[in-house]
A and B are shown apart, each in its own frame.
Chain A
Amino acid sequence: MTAAERDWSAFAETGDDGQLTMQLAVDGIHCAACMTTIERSLSALPGVERARVNLSNRRLAVSWRPEETDGGTIVSTLADIGYDARPFVRGQIDDGYRRERNRLLRAIAVAGFAAMNVMLFSVSVWSGNVTDITPETRLLFHWLSALIALPAAAYAGQTFYRSAFSAIRRGRVNMDVPIALGVILAIGLSFYGTLTAGADTYFESALMLLFFLLVGRLLDHLMRRRTRTFAENLAALRAETAVLLGPDGHLREVPVGQVSPGALVQVAAGSRVPVDGTVVEGTSEIDQSLVTGETMLVEIGAGDRVFAGTLNGEGVLTVQVQAAGEGTLLDEVNRLLDQAMTARSQSVALADRVARWYAPVVHGAALLTFLGWLALGAGAERSLVVAITVLIITCPCAIALAVPAVQVTAAGALFRNRLLLHSGDALERLAEADTVVFDKTGTLTTPTARIANAGEVPEVALEAARALAARSRHPISQAIAAGSKPASAVLEASEVAGQGVTGIVDGHRVRLGRPGFVDAEEEAAALADRFPDATLVGVSVDGCRPAVLAVQQVLRPDAAETVAELGRHGFRLVILSGDRGPAVARVAQTLGITEWQGGLKPAEKIAALESLSAEGRKVLMVGDGLNDAPALAAAHVSMSPVSAVDLSQAAADIVFLGERLAPVPLALAIGRRARRIMSENLALALVYNLIAVPIAVTGNATPLIAAVAMSASSILVTANALRAQSVRTATPDPSTEVATRSTRTEAAPA
């Protein structure tokens, strides 16, 4: 990129023996063969101590001796064998998830061990009770059970006790309150029975309950972790680094997170601006489409503000880093984003709505049962056993699982279709959506510009233009060069500032630049009518009749299809764009969308969304720009493509990968199906409770039967949730996607 050297100390950690260790996200690891290839090639490098690929999370850990090799050699070796690898910034990887998983696994192991051993004693006691067990042996077994169960339940149940305690302290009840109460009461009563040499204990019921619940928690945790890991890898592969300009003029490439306000950052020609700041030196044209949705290039110079995510043109800029200041676009976006986030938390997830009435009803029922039996003259102990049975049998396992189990499977289905789900409850909101609002630039259109009239330009001129354009850093040149085969040899390439490029391609003198630069004003004027939004670029080979290329953002390959499909399913479609009205109108017309607004500021996008929701519409917002971030957060549910700015991806509920727009209807389909299965599950759990509770209240179920019935209902609900995996909608085949992408240059005008 530049002569700046990457500062490896920002990425690698130094071990006790002086070795450096680095974690890398590696793009393109698909199978065991990749794993072996990478490990072999790296181990063969002198100085590399250890290279280990983790195939589950597509990461690579390398240790090396700093005196013999360096991080750059390792990354370039990987590039040579075909893998794009980027180091994680030290501390960027969150270890919390791993610790949490290990804690859950340990709790499961302890609960499982204890439950099985206690079960061993319990089965002996039950069979002994109907034959000839002596009270002494039974007491011994009860004491042994107590010795195992007390510490095990105390250890394994921590998650539930803590959550229940913090809920109660805040004066609320959640699903964990009845769980914790049931477990503690069952263990406490059993211990009392053991002390008084009673005939029954229920240690095994409490432990089995904990074991099953913990397994559910682990599954839920693994689902979140998978999405999270993937998102971390993507972030690392986007390689957000900035080139710091030191006071001595020395250039140093560091992770963006380590750049502090006030520092000077150099932005090379043709690269993305990594930070928000003010230009102190240099002039250039920048492409702000990712920030404002505006597709026209903007001239900037010293004193102008630039934003992270904009694409720099042909000039080198020195930018002074600034935090968001008063009255700037970024400030406005952040402020709106905060407001939208607060407003959104008002939407209550289905599971929480159920929990809100479920816990009080269950506790009330258990209490009434206890009082009722006491009033009917049963002893305190007998009454308490029946009340505990009610608590265990109504244990919200089935209800607690009904929604998360579906979320886990649906998230898996989304993940396989290259959709990353940020929050589980987004599925429910997705199912409710009846209106889809699209941003234009970068969402309906591809994130980068393409040649819109490639089919009409002579092949020779096109190839020459591409080869020459590959030598230039200008955004327009990069759009022309995009997707071209390895460029033909270009000799004597030189840029004429503000005009174009010349060079010798395959022995022909080629000029590429403004129409005036190649005497193509006439042709350009003819094209200007057809492609009013395009930047026109002329190309001439050996001074022959020049051709003119129209470079502009084109529609995503399947935009028309997707929009038509959504229309067929009865969604109301709207375009809200920050780009100029006429440009938006043309896209809307091409796609057959009748409702559109252009030239919107972030606040106006939110206002438009609000007026939609005032009509009772539930809006799915799809957008990518910085200007869309507040709208994404304010909408009922939101999606953003992976090419979006960080702020928007963070604000969106779902991020989709790939060039196509098909993930939007697919996500809607998965969401609706998930929602239907959730309702089925809740209905199943309700039916189960309606049957089981009367049996328990009348004292016809022992705590063990209750535990078995509870587990059975949980399994039923989980099995039903697995149906969320299958999606009937045809999924795009990755191989055809590549094909579409390469033939994409002759796209419809946008």
Chain B
Amino acid sequence: MNILLILIPAALLLGLVGLAAFLWSLRTGQYEDLEGAKWRVLSDDDLPEDERPRHDPDRD
């Protein structure tokens, strides 16, 4: 039963990390625009010009 001394704190710690991560994401306003966020993943405006995937009309 000594294993409990490690497992219980480990389980609680993992749970707390999840809770903390959620509270952090809430505080930094990541739930303010769920609609926009799903589209922003597709935008590559944040990349420098030469790293953007080039549109190749021949392959469409």
Contacts and interface: CB of A to CB of B under 8 A. Distances in A.
A735 interface: no
A35 B45 CA distance: 12
Contacts of A35: 36, 39-40
A348 interface: no
Interface in B1-44: 1, 4, 8, 11-12, 15-16, 18-19, 22-23, 26, 31-36, 39-40, 42-43
A54 B23 contact: no
Contacts of B32: 54, 56, 98
Interface string A15-43: 00000000000000001100110011000
Contact of A117 (B12, B33, B39, B40): B12
A436 to B, nearest CB: 36
Interface string A112-133: 0100110010000000000000
A92 interface: no
Nearest to A140: B4
A113 B22 CA distance: 11
B17 to A, nearest CB: 10
B15 to A, nearest CB: 5
Contacts of A56: 32-36
Contact of B19 (A36, A54, A57, A109): A109
Given A32-B39, A113-B19, A106 B33 contact: no
A416 B58 CA distance: 41
B45 to A, nearest CB: 7
Given A32-B42, A106-B23, A120-B11, A137 B1 contact: yes
Contacts of A73: none
Interface string A96-111: 0010001001100110
A168 interface: no
A113 B15 contact: yes
Contacts of B36: 32, 35, 53-56
Interface of A is mostly: helix
A116 B15 contact: yes
Contacts of A36: 43, 45
A116 B16 CA distance: 11
Contacts of A144: 8
Contacts of A102: 26
Contacts of A106: 23, 26
Given A117-B11, A117-B12, A54 B43 contact: no
A113 B18 contact: yes
A55 B32 CA distance: 10
Nearest to A108: B22
Given A113-B15, A117-B11, A55 B45 contact: no
Nearest to B21: A109
Interface of B is mostly: helix
B11 A105 contact: no
Nearest to A57: B33
Nearest to A120: B11
Nearest to B42: A32
Q: Point out which of A57, A116, A117 has the most chain B C-beta atoms below 10 A from its C-beta.
A: A117
Given A54-B32, A56-B32, A117-B15, A109 B43 contact: no
Interface in A116-161: 116-117, 120, 137, 144, 148
B12 A109 contact: no
Interface in A666-685: none
Contacts of A57: 33
A316 B41 CA distance: 52
A35 B41 CA distance: 13
Contacts of A120: 11
Nearest to B37: A55
Nearest to B31: A105
Contacts of A54: 32-33, 36
Given A56-B32, A144-B8, A109 B22 contact: yes
A358 B9 CA distance: 43
A106 B1 CA distance: 35
Interface in A623-666: none
Contacts of B33: 54-57
Contacts of B15: 113, 116-117
Contacts of A98: 32
A54 B34 CA distance: 9
Nearest to A56: B35
A115 to B, nearest CB: 11
B53 to A, nearest CB: 15
A236 to B, nearest CB: 18
B5 to A, nearest CB: 10
B46 to A, nearest CB: 11
A120 B8 CA distance: 10
A453 B33 CA distance: 49
Contacts of B35: 55-56
A116 B31 CA distance: 23
Interface in A137-192: 137, 144, 148
B33 to A, nearest CB: 4
A109 B12 CA distance: 14
Nearest to A124: B4
A159 B40 CA distance: 35
B50 to A, nearest CB: 18
B10 to A, nearest CB: 12
A238 to B, nearest CB: 24
A109 B45 contact: no
Contacts of B1: 137
Contacts of B8: 144
A39 B33 CA distance: 15
A117 B22 CA distance: 16
A372 B43 CA distance: 67
A327 to B, nearest CB: 49
A36 B46 CA distance: 12
A261 B22 CA distance: 49
Interface of A: 31-32, 35-36, 39-40, 53-57, 98, 102, 105-106, 109-110, 113, 116-117, 120, 137, 144, 148
Q: Which 6 A-B pairs have the closest CB atoms?
A: A32-B39, A55-B36, A56-B35, A55-B35, A54-B33, A113-B19
30 contacts: A31-B39, A32-B36, A32-B39, A32-B42, A32-B43, A40-B45, A53-B36, A54-B33, A54-B36, A55-B36, A55-B39, A56-B32, A56-B33, A56-B34, A56-B35, A98-B32, A102-B26, A105-B26, A105-B31, A106-B26, A109-B19, A109-B23, A113-B16, A113-B18, A116-B15, A117-B11, A117-B12, A120-B11, A137-B4, A144-B8
Given A32-B39, A113-B19, 6 more contacts: A32-B40, A54-B32, A105-B26, A109-B23, A117-B15, A137-B4
